[in-house]
Structure 1
């Protein structure tokens, strides 16, 4: 038996530890002088080759484990789940060295997998790919909770194919695939895939390496998810505490407003003080809209029907002030330092109710005051000496100095609108009341024309309809007001027959009518009858042409030619009709005084319903 020198043995061990894939040449060179048989040399070479392969494998395994633990430490430092998934796929791609690496997330409720993160893909449809339960290689990994692979996807028979998955795999050009589960205890949270665009039989080392990495990654991913949930729960808790604190603060504000509003009701406050208290509590600007402005606001109209605050579209809130079906106005809140939440809205609605209560109280007091003032006006109009004895003192007690009132305005409005007209007239007059079929207002204006226009304007705007205002001067208060009111009322009754129904006039402008007709509509009919009665009777029995002809003649400066043109008849026809008028009214019917009275009577007869 040949002896092998120690140096040769040491050389053989060095060749084995070097891990060369083909150490035969070096072994034969070392044993060339040993005298060993060829078969022993071959055996030694095979053993050195085997030892070298093992050494290379363990060295590679060491590097892989080092990279694995390094990646695990890096992943453990990440907290954002999306960033963690991206880095996880990136590290797996570097470790295994395949063409494509991707991670599919598992939904325990739908049992569906969805591609969440990819690296190395080129087809846009691959990202977000959904794998139905029981389909494809991924479902086998989930169901078996262990690695699955195939060297040729098209030839794979162990898992059922699905058309959508097959199309995505073909579009990406994937051929060989390896999938390992991401396990958190017994729960599958996803599948990590390594894939090549060529046929490849995955080695046990590759499968083991990717599985080991997946085990580390699953722990880190599950920890990150739990941490994210914990942070989300903590954030929700902070948010809930914040909401609770805001709610408590809002309730404290609401309680303070309620106390302030209660005090206002007990102390007789007004709407302005309610707005001030509400604005102070909610730290915002609060405006008060009157009835007319509120009625034109769409948000207020909606609030009126719902009874709730309504957003105006520019960050503000509107809440109607209503009493029954009556709109009394509205509160307009412009958002300031405090966000308008449910408590703030309810607070504003409560303030609107208090405002309505105060308005009703104020209106009741105002109505009582106006009834007293109306009584004063009625006594002035009556002219009764007994009732006028101390009226100046009683008026002064109400803040009215009768000797300063210089004009009276009589308003002709429908009976059902008189109260509304009287309420509006108080804005422009010192003393207002209802008398007979008219509303009477006394003002301090020395010019009755100015007084009439001012009262007419406010009442016309409030009623939104035609209003006739007749004004007259007042000089002898407090001795009485009957004569002026009588004259203005007579004028107001006569003017509609003259086509004047919406104007502000004075009795001086229409003095003849006031003087002619005085109080009572029956005098108008008697006047018409007395002046043109024969003409009216003739028309009643002969076709009704004389009165229209007479009206046209008087209206066209007593010109037969102009009258014929206006009536579209021949001039001779007009002359014949005027001859008949002369027979009926007498030969002096065209004298100036007769013409004036005829003009008035004909206009009244034509514009009214008749005598």
Structure 2
């Protein structure tokens, strides 16, 4: 290899060597780039097939085995996303985290990562899926992501269903509003019930019973009484709610008077606040899940 580190002018022989080496190096770099691109396309195709597969064919299983997936083992699907921008570095981080989890458990691990439905989809075969989710979240924390995840209890054959649940869990986390965060439906409480597929009719009836008049009023008048009610109940007092809503406290007080006219004067009292707040949170999560598809 010819390396020039000084300031002296190269002689004719060195210049000829450098001229010949340039195209060779460029060709080698291009070959490496194509190999990396081909490997990523292979992994992207595998992710796409898995999240749409109705059954795992022998061919698909063989291709998964070639990238490290064993026939038996715990499979989980993770959806990594932010509200408004891609999350950088997910493939490298996921590989690193999987290696760390596997090393601590003295086992092997396999990971596939690809962009899917506007998010990064990670399919991992690891011994501790919850730990993997937490470490993935922490490693990507500067980007402010949420990591919704779900187990595939039937292994590879359940990846499609797990991906849908993970996608809905991520949407629920966005609706709740805490970032960075990671959760599966079992740790999301009632929001997790929605993410996992609770009967929409039951949820709709609960929301309508508790806060239906607010929703109707907001639709007719293009107001934000529903959001105001949720913020007041969550914050516990008008001043804190006003700060969160970026409004004057008198404006929030006027909105609360309107809310009381619609729901009753004791709408925020001890006998109703819990149920109303539950309904308002379900309303927010339901909206996020509907947007997520």
- Report the TM-score, using the length of structure 1 for normalisation: 0.35
Q: CA deviation at 1:423?
A: 5.0
| Distance (whole Å) between structure 2 residues aligned to residue 486 and residue 564 of structure 1 | 39
- The change in CA–CA distance for 1:442 and 1:552 in structure 2 (over 3 A counts) is closer
Q: CA deviation at 1:535?
A: 0.8
Q: CA deviation at 1:494?
A: 3.3
| Distance (whole Å) between structure 2 residues aligned to residue 583 and residue 468 of structure 1 | 37
Q: CA deviation at 1:486?
A: 0.9
Aligned equivalent of 2:65: 396
Q: CA deviation at 1:449?
A: 4.0
CA contact (8 A) 2:238 2:253 kept: no
CA-to-aligned-CA distance 1:26-84 (integer Å, 9 cap, x gap): xxxxxxxxxxxxxxxxxxxxxxxxxxxxxxxxxxxxxxxxxxxxxxxxxxxxxxxxxxx
Q: Does 1:373 align with 2:50?
A: no
Q: CA deviation at 1:549?
A: 4.5
- SS of the residue corresponding to residue 156 of structure 2 reads coil
Aligned equivalent of 1:95: none
Aligned equivalent of 1:505: 182
CA contact (8 A) 2:207 2:279 kept: no
- SS of the residue corresponding to residue 149 of structure 2 reads strand
CA contact (8 A) 2:43 2:112 kept: yes
Correspondence 1:107-122 to 2 at 5 A:
none
CA contact (8 A) 1:421 1:439 kept: no
Extract unaligned runs of 5+ from structure 2.
99-110, 243-248
Q: Does 1:547 align with 2:226?
A: yes
CA contact (8 A) 2:76 2:162 kept: no
| Distance (whole Å) between structure 2 residues aligned to residue 384 and residue 340 of structure 1 | 66
Aligned equivalent of 1:596: 278
Q: Does 1:432 align with 2:113?
A: yes
Q: CA deviation at 1:453?
A: 4.6
CA contact (8 A) 2:232 2:241 kept: no
Correspondence 1:325-474 to 2 at 5 A:
335=5, 341-342=9-10, 354-385=24-55, 387-404=56-73, 406-412=75-81, 424=92, 427-428=95-96, 430-456=111-137, 465-474=143-152
Aligned equivalent of 1:492: 170
Aligned equivalent of 2:161: 483
Q: Does 1:563 align with 2:231?
A: no
- The change in CA–CA distance for 1:493 and 1:393 in structure 2 (over 3 A counts) is same
- SS of the residue corresponding to residue 471 of structure 1 reads strand
| Distance (whole Å) between structure 2 residues aligned to residue 518 and residue 390 of structure 1 | 30
- SS of the residue corresponding to residue 154 of structure 2 reads coil
Q: Does 1:537 align with 2:206?
A: no
| Distance (whole Å) between structure 2 residues aligned to residue 499 and residue 550 of structure 1 | 16
- The change in CA–CA distance for 1:366 and 1:556 in structure 2 (over 3 A counts) is closer
Larger Rg: 1
Q: Does 1:580 align with 2:250?
A: no
- The change in CA–CA distance for 1:573 and 1:517 in structure 2 (over 3 A counts) is same
- SS of the residue corresponding to residue 470 of structure 1 reads strand
Q: CA deviation at 1:490?
A: 0.8
| Distance (whole Å) between structure 2 residues aligned to residue 469 and residue 437 of structure 1 | 13
CA-to-aligned-CA distance 1:300-348 (integer Å, 9 cap, x gap): xxxxxxxxxxxxxxxxx7xxxxxxxxxxxxxxxxx5xx88642557856
| Distance (whole Å) between structure 1 residues aligned to residue 39 and residue 253 of structure 2 | 67
Q: CA deviation at 1:578?
A: 5.0
| Distance (whole Å) between structure 1 residues aligned to residue 284 and residue 181 of structure 2 | 24
- The change in CA–CA distance for 1:365 and 1:535 in structure 2 (over 3 A counts) is same
- The change in CA–CA distance for 1:563 and 1:366 in structure 2 (over 3 A counts) is same
| Distance (whole Å) between structure 2 residues aligned to residue 477 and residue 414 of structure 1 | 30
Extract unaligned runs of 5+ from structure 1.
1-277, 283-316, 318-334
CA contact (8 A) 1:452 1:469 kept: yes
| Distance (whole Å) between structure 2 residues aligned to residue 435 and residue 599 of structure 1 | 27
Q: How many matched pairs?
A: 263
- The change in CA–CA distance for 1:493 and 1:504 in structure 2 (over 3 A counts) is same
| Distance (whole Å) between structure 2 residues aligned to residue 415 and residue 566 of structure 1 | 25
CA-to-aligned-CA distance 1:352-387 (integer Å, 9 cap, x gap): 6544432321232233233333333333323412x4
- The change in CA–CA distance for 1:451 and 1:571 in structure 2 (over 3 A counts) is closer
- SS of the residue corresponding to residue 121 of structure 2 reads strand
- Report the TM-score, using the length of structure 2 for normalisation: 0.63
- The change in CA–CA distance for 1:366 and 1:510 in structure 2 (over 3 A counts) is same
| Distance (whole Å) between structure 2 residues aligned to residue 349 and residue 468 of structure 1 | 50
Structure ranking higher on relative contact order (CA contacts 8 Å, 6+ apart): 2
